[in-house]
Structure 1
Amino acid sequence: MLYGREAEIAAIDELISRARDGAGGALVLRGEAGVGKTALLDLAASRGGPMPVLGATGVEAESDLAFAALHQALRPVAGLLDALPEPQREAVRGALGLAGSGDRFLLAAGVLSLLAEAAAPEGLVCVVDDFQWVDRASADALLFAARRLGTERIAMLLAVRGDLPVKGVPSLEVGGLPEPAAAELLDAGATIAAGVKQRLVALTAGNPLALRETVRRLSPAQLDGREPLPDPLPGGSRLFGEQVTALPDEARQVALLAALDGDLGLVSRAAARLGVGREALDELEAAGLARVTGASVRFRHPLVRSAVYESATPAVRRDAHAMLAAVADEGAGERAEGGAEGDRRAWHLAAAALGPDEAVAGALARAAARARDCGGYGDSATALTRAAELTPDPLIRAARLKDAAVAAWLGGLPGRAESLLAEAREHAGNDAALGTEIAQLRGRLELNSGSAAEAVRVLSAGGSLGMLADASEAASYVGDTAAMIEIGRRAEAYPEGFLRDVVAGIGAALSGRDDGPELLRRALARTGELREAAEFLWATAAASYLGEADLSAELAARAGRVARVSGMTGQLPVVLEFVATAERIAGRPAESRAISEEGLELAREAGYANTVAAHLANLAVCAALRGEEETCRRHAQEALAIALPHRVGLRASVAAYALGMLDLGLGRYAAAHDRFTALVAAGPGAGHPTTVWRSTPDRIEAAVGAGDLESARTALQAYEQWSAHAATAESRALLARCRALVSPSEEDAQEGFAEALRLHANPYEAARTGLLLGERLRRAHRPAEARPHLRAALEAFRQAGAEPWARRAHAELRAAGESGEAPAGSALDALTPQELRIAGLVADGLSSKEIAARLFLSPRTVEYHLYKIYPKLGIGTRTELARLVVLRKAPADVTGNL
């Protein structure tokens, strides 16, 4: 029976009730040892009625064994794996030791999908005790799922001791019992004087375990107040010290083996080697200190393990570890080096080691490789770090520290990666090849989470083409044109190839050389040979520096598609920076917003600060297009707070551009003109030439609106130079619009706008041109000709959700003599960004499983969203949904039939 836990029980019941109704969630129960968290988990497991229960318990001895907790939790439902999308299925199979493989994000999404399958049809309760000792790989996957249960019938509860941060999951503090409840608990077990009860509650802070165990150790005279209470009371690990000491020697030996490894088979074999029989384990159970559950030995409470561990000398503990390693090797035979037994053996050998030992270090390094191959990067980093400590050769130690840094980086631990890398540099000595690898990784770490300018400095010192390419990328993030030109010049010394041509071409193009565009065109001609997401991003850069924003956006979208279905090695948040920008440039701000929301969440989980800034900046632009002033300013300021001190000029400039677009959309031309002008003047670390080039059509429009025609003409001259080698229709359309805006001849201006309309492929940009032409025609007293353009622009703006622009078009339309309310937007406007993305993938012909694999959702979540989408749109089939999406994506007729 639980005493005094009404509030906690109510919170648990509410969580389970919501999950039963299809609104799942997670809750962290946080409190000190012995406060009753396990009892609350047991209660939760019993409150779900027909809902099945999955559970796991973190074990300190297994906290370095990748996926140990997932094995406990998911083994009962492994038979449901076939229902998962293939990439997720293989990732989970790999984590469970079933011969699959995968990476961090695919594994996490697969865990979510498998839990969702297990939740059908009654729902599911998932409880994890002692979460502070769950291995890092399992913890990452479980938390990924916990933060995404809103549409699943799953209630997840995690019990945590101490202050371990659990981001994104609400916590409930479980404190000591109030005095009345504590007194009731004491009355249920013994007759105790009122004053003694009050004193015991005060001294134990109402901790239930401390109360029970203390009372067991008090004499009748102490309980009835005839003798004073001992000072101090037994507490902490001392609660069970006497019971451990009282165990027979053989039972204490078994207890120590179980404290070092909870695997029943391993403990039994080690005990047999020591000549200890099964009776010793029976005695341990009879003492109430441990129990055998399935294939494990579990202590009654973690403090029992602490007491057992502390009762043994370091030498005795090392001997026990050595015995466990020996029987792990003996029992697993040829499999010892290839799976969980091999990992256990490696860790026990490491714990038994008294100094450097290459054989032990090598075993740990192989265990790290197995964890890495299944997506357990954090555990891989831990194993490699310990392997490095045991490595006698300095160069091999440095290489293992470097590999540990890579694993920590990919596991979302940038701070730890930086520390490991610094240690690797100390041991690398004068080895040039290893020093280059360490420097390149250091530069990549800086680019992801630190100073982009420092990344340029570090990477520019390298001599390989790969490092030069990374240096060029870093310089591009900073916006350092001079560095990009110099890096491009150095790249010319390497043989012709795709990457060399892009890096050299960008540098040559920025310096104004005629061969720059030729090199970039030659690189783009090899696009059909590209396979990796990173390669498509370089192609994106090549198209961008040719002035072809539309082709650049198309290539970025391809990078995103490749990244989602291939080994992403943790870099998906970075790829999504460019995919989100591509969607926005293509005139699909709602889709762009949804991608950046996903990327922002993943970037925060991965610890990629500069990528967080990128997604915040893009979200600011999307908010500006929608006219959401407060949201735009908030996102922009958050992005600038990261980008400016980190010298990430590309992202700082996008955030500043968002504020300019906000002013332009709301008709504040002078303010927009000032912001765009400041953007041009911003140097490396705050501004960026690509943002300046892409924003020039907006800058010209703002300058004209503010009455500064001279600035508009100066901007046009620069834009003509930047666009000189652009060949796509959309790039020519934007140039025609800019020329029309500054044309002194009204007739030439109207012809320029009409030419732009004939060339536009981007519906949003076409609408802006149609609005400008409609305004010119109305002010030239030709309202009948203006109205078709304004009407089409209004519809396109409403389709895109660009409300400020839609209001401007509507006002012009009314001024042109057309009365009535603004037409309703697309039915798709009723969808959330996530629903809109799912609708788009349905239109592309993807199944629910395929959509789930793309978006890191469970197939059931996809079906849930479709269930919500259909009534919103008044439809009932995928075919009808696809038809609506295709109509939305089709370029609007903003030509006025010219």
Structure 2
Amino acid sequence: MMVTAVCVGRDREVDALWSRLRHVTGAEFLAVSGDPGSGKSTLLAHLVARHRAESHGTDDTGATLWARVSPWQASTPGALVRQLLQDHSPDGTTDVETLVGGLLAALGPSADTPSLIAIDDADLADEVSLQALLTLTRDHRACRVLVVATTSRPGARLVGQPLDELRLESIDPQGTAEIAGRRGIVLHPAMREELTRHTAGKPRDIVALLDEVPAGTWSRSGAQLPAPRYVVAQVRDRLPDIGVPARSLIEALAILDDAEPLSTAVELAGITDPLDAIDEARRTGLVTCDGALTPAEARPRIVTPLVRAAVLEVLGMGAVGEAHRRAAQIVADPARRLHHRVAATPTADAALADDLAELARARGADGAWAEAAGLYRQSGRLTPDPLERDTRVTLAVDSLLAAGDCTGAGALVPTVESLRETPLRNATLAYLAILRGRSAEAQLRLDRAWGIVNVEREPDVAALIAQRHVLHNLVRCQGSELVAWADRAMEMAGSQSAARVEAAVIRGLGLAWSGQPEAARAEYESVSATIRYGAQAQRAVMGRGWLQLGLDEIDAARTNLEAAVSMAQLGGSTRISLWALAWLARVQFLTGDWDDAMRSVEAGRALARSSGIALTTPLLNWTATQIHSLRGDWEEAHRSIAASATSIGDYEIMRIPDLLARAQLAEAAADYGKVRRILTPLVTMAESVPALSEPGLWPWVDVLANAQVLEGQFDDADRLLRTYESRSAERGHRSSAARMKYARGRHLGATGDIHGAKRTFEEGLELLDGLGLRYDQARVNFAYGQTLRRAGKRRAADAVIGTARDLYLSLGAASYVDRCDRELKAGGLAGTRTENRGSSRDAGELTPQEEAVTALVARGLSNREVAAELFISPKTVQYHLTRIYAKLGLRSRSELAASRR
């Protein structure tokens, strides 16, 4: 019987199938294709069960016919159709038309609910039945029926006919976790990824391993996963006999890394004719050459991780150990040689542990932290001395954090916390606190680490602690303190140590935040000349791009940040990639490349989720909130704000973008009182946060001052602007100076100095010229136009607001395009021209300004909010409302709103 199936990780496919079935208007044929074990049968069973459940108890329903084809039915003409029809089957017939007639009779008359014919394993079906089904869908199109057939053949062709196809792809780690959860198993986050990778996301293999592997395996990371028993049995049956060259080659490939050249595998296998061995190995289906057509292109490898694991299990422990010992004598790469030595060593080995630790240090200095973490962990397992073992385990966790794997490191934290207190232990736990956004915890642990370290005896550890202080002050946005700790780290660390390199590549940002932009530029020139290659170069390139964004070097910033993102493929750090994506999204937002910015945001969010690093999430969400609110997608904008709320730590680099995002959302909704309430705390924060006071990265002063002006707080706006106008001028920072002029122009216009306002706005636009900051250009033009309109210069206002509208339209900023349209309408210039041609306005007709006020009041805005939106005073709004009521014969705001529905 067909059992009810639960589809996990297949929501998209389930929805697609159900929608296709519910909306079918005629007879259609759909193939569901996927590799064996991909969940085709379960998906089909779910569809059948759901269709039956929806149809149960109703009179006017479509039929549900289903069949699961068996191998022995392929040679029996009409067998599939007879299985579908059950008791109504025409006995023994092989006539296609008769079979079609039987199907039509079983389906019955056309119903409001379409019928479903479901066929599992259609690859095995007899040709006559498939012809009958295709004839049904081709010749009886008025019949509302969907035929769904599962197949393992890509391309969706049955009896030579092409079909519509729904391809089942691998499920993702979240789907893997859901499958485990339904079996009462909670997967460690790192194990979700590993199990998905190991099984290629095939539900059948995932379920098999969850059932067969001991439950304790799933709660930790780093476990080596076996193959399901049925895969081991299949591989055992397909392996050539022992001693056959193909068998020896397959075993060698299972032992070696895929990156090893074929010559290494041939030597390990001890064969003389590799080409014949490759051909025979490929015929087993256990080895592939990925489309190679000539011997020169042949790069044979085991087809899947499951097959590799199965081959090793068939080999047995003794043979696997011996193979790894021989491989250690053959491979050239030092890291792989050590890997083979480790794999062949079941007990403690001090010399091997020391070799591993030394290689880990070298890899760490190069920035290859993920590799260093694995080496330290192996070294710890093989180290006989308990104290040395504790140190290496701690270094493994520290290296995972440097690589940006907070999830993997977090799994080992209980182990580290159980160890005796050392400066290294405290520094490592502080590092984790930093990446999770916990400033107070990080400060306590760093202070303790620095307090107990002996600088003379442990200079490397002292340098590491100092470098963690550098990171801590980076995300606190502290310039001078960052530079001081960077100098300490560089003084104590070795010339090629990782701590020295990291301190050097961050020091330039500290100089910029200390009011020394030229020194910061020089620092990155020096660092870039020193570090040209390898994973450490990603840190230097990202840091330089971050600095360049803050210094208005927009094109250079984009180039370096894009390079830092791409360098992740060369072994860079997840942590550095996250910063690069977050700041690249800012560049793309400012230059108007909003689709690219959202792609960077989504890539950063995915990386943050998988790594467990919380620091950059508010920064990413700030960009997302700006784009969504400017596009008028309020639901997504609020969702971004809510996402930040769940990840906000107590670091300034998290709190500042969260406040800016909330202010942007309020400003886009013309709620300037809320903007002021959100941003006013930054005035106090800036007194102790140098990066917030320096022009460049954090555009908050102009937003707050603009809100203060529109709220009538002219003196507050003037005081705020005076401080930061002088700083922008002193630094020669063009975009920041332009933003100050944007707000100062507002202030001058609002206080009656229209000539000063015009001059200030023009100066702001001139400063922006050539920088490519399209969003800022639109913003200045919009404020300029509003100011001109308020001063009664409608023709000039019309031109400037038209420019702003064109810019906002090119950006896709729908909410501000609408505001520009209201401004243009409220200006009434077009109406005036009409009047000048001799037409007259009816006494009851609203003026453009009154129309604008009416529209906003009808939306529920208060007088103050309408005034801020239209850049007029609340008294003017009330004056317009009085006239509107009189003209329309209304008495209240509610009646006005009702009249516009």
Residues 318-357 of structure 1 mapped to structure 2, 5 A cutoff: 321=317, 324-326=320-322, 328-329=324-325, 334-335=330-331, 346-347=342-343, 349-350=345-346, 353=347, 356-357=348-349
Give the alignment of 1:447-846 within 5 angstroms.
Answer: 447-456=434-443, 458=445, 468=466, 470-479=468-477, 483-484=481-482, 487=485, 516-523=516-523, 529=529, 531=532, 532-540=537-545, 542=547, 548=550, 550-551=552-553, 554-555=556-557, 557-565=559-567, 566-571=570-575, 572-643=577-648, 646-681=649-684, 689=693, 694-743=699-748, 744=751, 745-760=753-768, 761=771, 762-817=773-828
Give the alignment of 1:62-461 within 5 angstroms.
140=193, 143=196, 159-161=206-208, 265=251, 294=286, 321=317, 324-326=320-322, 328-329=324-325, 334-335=330-331, 346-347=342-343, 349-350=345-346, 353=347, 356-358=348-350, 361=353, 384-385=376-377, 387-394=379-386, 396-406=388-398, 408-409=400-401, 413-418=405-410, 420=412, 423=415, 441-456=428-443, 458=445
Q: Secondary structure at the match of 2:615?
A: helix
How far, CA to CA, are the matches of 2:418 and 2:343 in structure 1? 26
- 8 Å CA contact 2:528–2:540 kept in 1: the answer is no
Give the drift of 1:425. Answer: 8.3
- Determine the C-alpha separation between the residues in 2 that align with 1:7 and 1:508: 58
Q: Which has the higher contact order (CA 8 A, sep 6+)?
A: 1
The 1:711/1:391 distance shift into structure 2, 3 A limit, reads same
| Unmatched 5+ stretches in structure 2 | 21-28, 46-67, 72-118, 126-163, 212-228, 234-246, 256-283, 288-300, 456-461, 832-901
3-state SS, counterpart of residue 642 of structure 1:
coil
- Report the 3-state secondary structure (helix = DSSP H, G, I; strand = E; otherwise coil) of the residue aligned with 1:672: helix
Cα distance 1:552–1:483, how it changes in 2: closer, same or farther (>3 A)? farther
**In structure 1, what is the Cα distance between the partners aligned to 2:584 and 2:470?**
20
Residues 412 and 606 in structure 1, CA contact (< 8 A), matched pair in contact too: yes
CA displacement, residues 791-816 of structure 1 (integer Å, 9 cap, x when unaligned): 11001111112222222211111222
Q: 1:139 and 1:564 mapped to 2: Cα distance?
A: 25
Question: In the comparison of the two structures, how many residue pairs are matched?
Answer: 593
After superposition, the CA RMSD in angstroms is: 6.2
**1:41–1:509: structure 2 CA closer, same or farther, 3 Å change rule?**
farther
CA contact (8 A) 2:745 2:756 kept: yes
Matched letter for residue 435 of structure 2: N
Residue 813 to residue 458, structure 1, CA distance change in 2 (3 Å): same
Q: Structure 1 residues 787, 648: closer, same or farther in 2, change over 3 A?
A: same
Distance apart, 1:635 and its partner CA: 1.6
The one-character-per-residue Cα deviations of 1:611-635 (angstroms, maximum 9, x if unpaired) are 3343233322322332333322222
Residue 739 and residue 370 in structure 1: after superposition, are their counterparts in 2 closer, same or farther (change >3 A)? closer
TM superposition shift of 1:765: 0.9
- TM-superposition CA deviations, 1:692-742 (whole Å, max 9, x none): 952111111111111111111121022124314332443332233233222
CA offset digits 1:655-675 (Å, max 9, x no partner): 221111122122222221221
Are the equivalent residues in 2 in contact too, given 1:328–1:336 (CA < 8 A)? no
**Code of the aligned partner of 1:774:** G
- 1:393–1:705 CA distance, 2 compared to 1 (3 A): same
Moved more, 137-146 or 408-417: 137-146
Aligned-partner residue type, residue 751 of structure 1: R
Of residues 647-656 and 582-591 in structure 1, the stretch that sits farther from structure 2 once superposed is 582-591
CA distance in 1, matches of 2:34, 2:684: 50
Q: Following the alignment from structure 1 to structure 2, what is the Cα–Cα distance between the partners of residues 13 and 804? A: 32
1:92 maps to which residue?
A: none
Please say if residues 673 and 703 of structure 1, whose CA atoms lie closer than 8 Å, have aligned partners that are also in contact.
yes
Structure (1 or 2) with the larger CA radius of gyration: 2
Q: Which amino acid aligns with 1:677?
A: T
- C-alpha contact (below 8 Å) 1:384/1:400 kept by paired residues: yes
Contact 2:502/2:539 (<8 A) preserved: no
CA separation of 1:348 and 1:520: change in aligned 2, threshold 3 A: closer
Distance 1:361 1:790 in 2: 70
Structure 2 CA distance for partners of 1:387 and 1:41, relative to 1, 3 Å: farther
* Counterpart-to-counterpart distance in 2, 1:790 and 1:579: 30
The separation in 2 between residues aligned to 1:294 and 1:504, in whole angstroms, is 52
TM-score normalised by structure 2 residue count: 0.52
Q: CA deviation at 1:537?
A: 3.8
Amino acid in the other structure paired with 1:449:
R
Give the secondary structure class of the aligned counterpart of 1:770.
helix
* Aligned equivalents of 2:190, 2:70: Cα separation in 1: 25
Question: How far apart in 1 are the matches of 2:410 and 2:285?
Answer: 41
CA contact (8 A) 2:363 2:371 kept: yes
What amino acid sits opposite 1:385 in the alignment? Answer: R
Name the CA distance, whole Å, in 1 between partners of 2:465 and 2:558.
22
Q: Distance in 1 between matches of 2:441 and 2:738?
A: 39
SS at structure 1 position matched to 2:573 = coil
Cα distance in 2 for residues equivalent to 1:613 and 1:29:
38
1:348–1:578: structure 2 CA closer, same or farther, 3 Å change rule? same
Amino acid in the other structure paired with 2:715: E
Change (3 A) 1:585 1:42: farther
Matched position secondary structure for 1:651: helix
Contact 2:548/2:556 (CA < 8 Å) preserved in 1?
A: no
Q: Secondary structure at the match of 2:653?
A: helix
1:268 deviates by 14
Cα 1:365–1:469 change in 2 (3 A) is closer
1:451 counterpart letter in structure 2? R
- In the alignment, the residues of structure 2 paired with residue 767 and residue 619 of structure 1 have an alpha-carbon distance, to the nearest angstrom, of 19
What TM-score does the superposition give when structure 1 sets the normalisation length?
0.53
8 Å CA contact 2:38–2:169 kept in 1: the answer is no
Q: Structure 1: any 5+ residue segments left out of the alignment? A: 51-120, 148-153, 165-238, 245-260, 270-291, 310-316, 821-898
